[in-house]
């Protein structure tokens, strides 16, 4: 990817939005592990120090990219009507956006309470799982447990499939197997 030439004048416009879009593209293309603020700054044509006006550090930028991805996933899951539909939409998103999904699942839950935008985005996805999988569950503890089972199943299945460890012949077969596992939730 070629870098955008730096501007000679102060960048007018929404640098934060441009940086998030560039970072999302870079993560989708190469993963988040090696992403740097300098690389993102080069992609939008500004000095890397300019990004510190919008993101405290690299981790803050990655959190913002993950929040955007969770928000996109939640918007897809809103359209799910059944456990099987939810599972299919979730798995398709994860497999079509593997590098973003890896970033999303790398964000430590313990730090989310210090990052309200990321926490809110994650809760949008969880709210959709609760809507689909917890309709007949009264107890908050049981609702939490049911959602955890769904996500443990999805994360494990997707991770094993993506690594080539899980013996499923296709994405469709993976979705069918995970849907069957989640049907009783």
HEC sequence for 44-59: HCCCHHHHHHCCCCHH
Q: How far apart are CA 120 and CA 71, in angstroms?
A: 9
Domain for residue 162, yes or no? yes
d(C-alpha 20, C-alpha 28), whole Å:
12
Residues 86 and 176 in one domain: yes
| pLDDT confidence of residue 11 | 52
Task: Please give the pLDDT value at position 110.
Answer: 81
Does residue 99 share a domain with residue 72?
yes
Q: Specify the number of domains making up the chain.
A: 2
What would the pLDDT profile of 77-103 be if each residue is shown by its tens digit? Answer: 999 999 999 999 999 999 999 999 999
Q: CA-CA distance, 84 to 182, in Å (whole number)?
A: 8
pLDDT at 183 over 90: no
User: Residue 185's pLDDT is what?
Assistant: 62
Is the confidence at residue 10, as pLDDT, over 80?
Answer: no
Same domain, 110 and 24: no
CATH of the domain at 177: 1.10.357.10
Shared-domain flag, residues 132 and 99? yes
Owning domain of residue 72: 66-183
Same domain, 76 and 159: yes
19-33, 107-121, 149-163: least confidently modelled range: 107-121
CB count in 10 Å sphere of residue 12:
7
pLDDT tens track for 65-78: 999 999 999 999 99
Evaluate whether 100 touches 23 at the Cβ level (below 8 Å).
no
């Amino acid at each position: 990817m070629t870098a955008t030439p730096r501007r000679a004048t102060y960048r007018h416009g929404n640098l934060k939005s441009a940086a998030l879009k560039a970072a999302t593209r870079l993560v989708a293309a190469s993963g988040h592990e090696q992403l740097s603020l300098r690389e993102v700054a080069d992609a939008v044509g500004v000095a890397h120090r300019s990004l510190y006006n919008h993101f405290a550090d690299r981790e803050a930028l990655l959190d913002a990219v993950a929040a955007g991805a969770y928000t996109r996933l939640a918007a897809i899951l809103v359209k799910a009507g059944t456990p099987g539909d939810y599972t299919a939409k979730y798995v398709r998103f994860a497999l079509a956006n593997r590098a973003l999904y890896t970033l999303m699942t790398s964000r430590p839950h313990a730090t989310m309470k210090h990052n309200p935008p990321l926490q809110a985005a994650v809760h949008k996805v969880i709210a959709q799982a609760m809507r689909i999988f917890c309709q007949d569950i009264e107890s908050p503890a049981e609702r939490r447990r049911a959602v955890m089972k769904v996500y443990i199943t999805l994360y494990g299945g997707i991770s094993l499939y993506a690594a080539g460890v899980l013996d499923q012949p296709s994405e469709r077969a993976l979705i069918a197997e995970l849907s069957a596992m989640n049907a009783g939730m």
